[in-house]
Structure formats: C-alpha cells, structure tokens
C-alpha cells in the first residue's frame, strides 16, 4: 500500500540531500574561479606531458630512485648535463621559453619594464609616423592608378559602343537596301 510518514520523510530528506549535492556540483562546475583553476591545471598537465615527451621522465633518465641516489654526482657533472641536453636541445629550449612566457604573462610588469616600454614606444613613434605616411602615399598612388585605369576602361568602352553603333547602322542600311532590292524584283 502506501508508505509510512517516517519513510516518506526519510525519502524526501535523501532526495533533498542528493539534489543539494547536484546543485553544489553544478555551481562548482560553472564557477569562474573553478573554470580558471581547471584550465590552469589542464595547461600545467599539458606542459608537463610535453616536457616529458621531449626530455623524458626522471625514471627514463636516471633509472630507479636507488640508482638516482648513487648517480647524482655523475649526473651533476658538466659533461653529463651536456649529454642529457644533447638529445633534443631545441625541445628543451622551447619548453624553457614556454615556461618563461607563462611566468612573464602571469606576473605584472615592473616599473623598470613599464619605463622601458614607454621609452621604446617614444623611440618607435617616428618610425610609426613614417610608416603611416608611406602607407598613405602607396594608397594615393594606387588610387590614382585605379582612377586612370577606370578612365581608360570607360574610354575604351565608349569607343567600342561607338563602333558597335556604327556597325549596327551599316547593317541596318545594308538590310534596308537588300529589302528594297527584293521588293523591286518581286
């Protein structure tokens, strides 16, 4: 038959708890802070995976941890470092560049960097103006060339129209003459 009121209350409480957990999970999923955290983690995992593919893992390079403890001295020598980097220096450089770029992008600029950027912008201003002037000159030259080409097309088209009109008049006159000749002979 029906459920007891106590069973119904427990069922409602259980469903309410499940619904609360679902709502919390949805809120966590769409939270901007959590989205950014997931993206950062995904980026870090991707970089770590890329680094491992390029440079290999610690286990691949040093063997087991017991071997690593015994061979630290061997691997710390300049010759050993050269041998390890000799496999893919371009990859190692790209990884280092990427990590440096991410760190630089995450940190706010310092006053020294802001001053250097302002000085560079001031120094580049004349070059920018010269480039703008050159672009304007090129644009005006292209515009003049286009206007000349348009005028030439227009004059060629009007000449062709005149020739077509003259040819049409000649054909009309010839057709009229032929019609009159046919009319006389009949």
Mean pLDDT (whole number) for 148-162: 83
Check pLDDT > 60 for residue 67: no
pLDDT given at position 82: 57
Residue 28: the pLDDT is 78
Residues 115 and 102 in one domain: no
Is residue 52 located within the same domain as residue 124? no
- Number of structural domains (the chain) is 2
Domain that holds residue 80: 31-107
**pLDDT for position 19:** 82
For residue 64, name the pLDDT band (cuts at 50, 70, 90): very low
The verdict on residue 78 lying in a domain is: yes
Q: Are 75 and 62 in contact (CB under 8 A)?
A: yes
* Cα separation, 60 vs 75, whole angstroms: 13
Q: Is residue 47 part of a domain?
A: yes
């Amino acid at each position: 038959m029906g459920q007891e009121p106590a069973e119904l209350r427990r069922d409602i409480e259980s469903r309410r708890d499940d619904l609360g957990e679902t709502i919390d999970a949805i809120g966590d999923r769409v939270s901007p802070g959590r989205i950014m955290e997931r993206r950062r983690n995904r980026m870090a995992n991707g970089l770590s995976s890329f680094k491992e593919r390029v440079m290999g893992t610690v286990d691949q390079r040093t063997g087991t941890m017991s071997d690593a403890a015994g061979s630290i001295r061997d691997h710390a020598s300049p010759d050993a470092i050269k041998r390890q980097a000799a496999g893919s220096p371009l990859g190692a450089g790209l990884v280092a560049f990427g990590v440096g770029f991410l760190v630089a992008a995450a940190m706010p600029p310092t006053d020294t960097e802001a001053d250097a950027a302002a000085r560079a912008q001031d120094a580049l201003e004349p070059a920018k103006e010269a480039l703008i002037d050159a672009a304007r000159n090129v644009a005006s030259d292209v515009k003049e060339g286009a206007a000349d080409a348009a005028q030439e097309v227009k004059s060629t088209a009007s000449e062709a129209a005149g020739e077509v009109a003259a040819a049409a008049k000649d054909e009309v006159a010839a057709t009229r003459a032929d019609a009159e000749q046919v009319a006389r002979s009949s």
